[in-house]
Amino acid sequence: MPDTKRKKYKIIKWIASITIIVFALLAGLAWFLNVKSQPILSNRIKTLLYKSTDSLYTISFSKVSTNILTGSATLYNVKIIPDTNRFNELITLKRAPNNLYTVSLKKLQVKHFHPLTLYRHQKLQLEEVIFDRPEVVMMNRQFAFNENRPPRPIKSPYAMISQNLKEFSINNILFRDASFKYINKNVLNATPFAIDDLNITLKDLLVDSTSAEDPDRFYLLKDVIINLKDYTYPTPDKMYNIKLNQLDFKASTGNLRINKFQVEPLYDEMKFGKVAGYAKDRFHIQMSDILLNGIDLPLYISKQEFRAKEMAIANGFISVFNDNSLGKNYDPADSLENRVRRFPHQLLQNISAPVLIQKIKLKDVDVSYAVYNPESQQRGKISFEHTSGVFKNVTNLTKIKAINPVMEVDLKTYLLGQGELDLNFNFDLLDKNGGFAYKGQLHTFNARVLNQITKPLGLVRINRGIIDKLRFNFKANNDGAKGKVDFYYYDLSVALMKNDPDKDHLVTRGLLSILANALIINAENPGRDGKFTSASVNYSRIENTSFFNLIWRSLFVGIKNSVGITDEKQQEIRKHIKNFKEMQENHRLRKQKRLERRQQREREQTRNEKR
């Protein structure tokens, strides 16, 4: 072999030998550190958690495995448990947190940690910690001494770890497919809330000499990201499923987005009330593209108080149905107060969780209210389509209500998809009798469109008519509504209907309709003499009926009075009907007597012929 080739071969062999030796040394060192570091790492983890939580929490695990080459470690059968005795001590010292956690999981992974940095510089730096399918139980109890405290630990964790560490940091803490249970200890016998398949990412946890006072951090974190793909929650009464599709939240921006939200009834319209046992309003709700801005996460974590600056909802529907054939319109087991308190602002006040949304924007939402009328055996429906507008001061917080006790709602919608309608509501959040005011104006449209509700619910068919304008202004509460209706229209003609069981549909009451148009109905308003009829309404609410029912019925009374169907004119037409029936009866009797006389003459003639 030539010298050059021999030299090259020796060099390659020498490099290979050195490489094998270095690799063997590294492997041996990794094995040594893996074995030797495990007890050290175990002790460090336990000490770190215990000290950084003011001796409140302890961690246990069956074993820990480490790999120095990949910079990873795995803890098995992990349990993080609070010390209740220490918790009570912290309450006495006024240092206890509002929330107490218990965490258990099969495996906790630590990725890309740096043992040499830990040993040489006393800095425990981790790239990622993964809680795989943890079970988290959170117990909340509000303490007055935590009121208005900033979102940071009461006692700096750095002071607790400074003797052992100069720094502790984790870039990402991942809770994957977490099972979360919330227990509210502020309410007696409160039902726990549970949710599964929750993904939470805690970003950039840092414990050092300055992090506790960093105003850009909350609870030592730079950010919290929450994701939920699909979630279904059956309501306690087993009548609905509440569904969420793709929820995303980022604490640093305070923004929460939901692709779709549903309140899905478990029974169809006619079966729902029968299962409930009374004429209960059946809600079917679906909202898309929901965005909330300015959510205060630290406030929610500490006090379960939900505050947001703005909420936007685009595309959705709210459908309400009631079966009036069932008679009772309330749950017999419910308290009298709850039976009455059924208006939107009253339901808001009944929510146990504190809520404040400064502004809610609606865009292109359809709202409908349908009723089954046993008299007509038909279903009447009124709809408000393509509804857009703004809700302001949506809250049940006592402090906020004391400053501003009014929830204001301004809406633009299309009645039955055609008539443009402007609506304004002012809800008194402090009125124990459910006081609120509503006013609006309906612009020009064809009156025949109203037949889909006037026929099944009012037994009135509109043959023709043009509505020029409808203005109304009401004040209402649990007892009813008082207000004024100004109805401008022309060329109005109606037919009164009744149910005909033999024909299985509504039929026209011909005589009544003729009399109604001749004697009652004002064909136009203002009349030909220029006189305008304005209707004053004093509507007594049928006990326990819904918010939609009160609005619809009060307006219907005003419309009837405007067109001339007043109590006085109805008495007048009843008198005419009575006279007409008496005339019919007299005519029938005279006809019967003439028939009897003719039959008598025929019998006498027959007898004479036989003689």
Q: How far apart are CA 25 and CA 282, in angstroms?
A: 74
How far CA 151 is from CA of 88, 146, 224, 301, 355, in Å, comes to 22, 10, 13, 9, 19
Q: How far apart are CA 355 and CA 346, in angstroms?
A: 13
Say whether pLDDT at 182 is over 50: yes
Say whether pLDDT at 489 is over 50: yes
Q: Considering only 68-77, 80-89, 145-154, 567-576, which range has the smallest mean pLDDT?
A: 567-576
Q: In this structure, what DSSP letter does residue 221 have?
A: B
How many Cβ atoms sit within 10 Å of the Cβ of residue 397?
Answer: 16
- Dihedral angle sign, alpha carbons of residues 127, 302, 161, 86: negative
Output phi, psi for 417, to 5 deg.
80, 0
Q: How far apart are CA 584 and CA 590, in angstroms?
A: 10
pLDDT score recorded for residue 115: 67
Say whether pLDDT at 34 is over 70: no
Q: How far apart are CA 539 and CA 561, in angstroms?
A: 12
How many Cβ atoms sit within 10 Å of the Cβ of residue 502?
Answer: 6
Q: Which long-range contacts (CB under 8 A, 24 or more apart) does 399-402 make?
A: 400/356, 401/429, 401/430
159 or 270, which is more confident?
A: 270
Query: Which range scores top for mean pLDDT: 111-115, 523-527, 578-582, 599-603?
Result: 523-527
Phi-psi label, residue 473: left if phi above 0, alpha if psi -120 to 50, beta otherwise? beta
* Closest to 114 measured CA to CA, from 103, 128, 104: 128
pLDDT score recorded for residue 164: 73
Query: Which range scores top for mean pLDDT: 200-204, 374-378, 562-566?
Result: 200-204
Pair of tokens at residue 391: 């809700």
**Tell me: the pLDDT tens digits for 235-248?**
888 899 999 888 99
Q: Which amino acid is at 328?
A: K
pLDDT score recorded for residue 540: 92
Report the DSSP beta bridge partners of residue 226.
Answer: 200, 249
Q: Which amino acid is at 387?
A: T
Report the DSSP beta bridge partners of residue 470.
Answer: 442, 487
**Tell me: the pLDDT tens digits for 440-453?**
999 988 888 887 77
